[in-house]
A = this chain, B = another copy of it.
Amino acid sequence: MPTYRATISVTLRPSILDPEGKAVHQALQNLGHTTVDDVRVGKRIELTIEAEDKDTAYDVAETSCQKVLANPVTENYEISITAASPSAA
């Protein structure tokens, strides 16, 4: 069966405070990077999925986001699917 790679970006919704981003921002300021105005930290997840076609792979990735990878109350997700095996299109 063809293999697809799903690249998923999980980011905090803009209205949610991001303490990890704040900490990184402070660290950068302390190192002299005063031109950095804002930092947001999220997750980037790569799934390797065996599927008949791209749409099926997308569905698997989306269900995974909804059930495991993202918290729908505080986070947004974005999915992009690319072919990972020569037989995938």
Contact = CB atoms under 8 A, between A and B. Distances in A.
Interface string A16-57: 000001001001100101011111111111111111000000
A31 B69 contact: no
A11 to B, nearest CB: 7
Which of A10, A44, A46 has the most B CB atoms < 10 Å from its CB?
A44
A67 B27 CA distance: 10
Contacts of A89: none
A44 B44 contact: yes
A64 interface: yes
Contacts of A46: 11, 38-40, 42
Given A24-B45, A35-B49, A36-B47, 6 more contacts: A10-B44, A35-B51, A35-B60, A38-B48, A40-B45, A41-B45
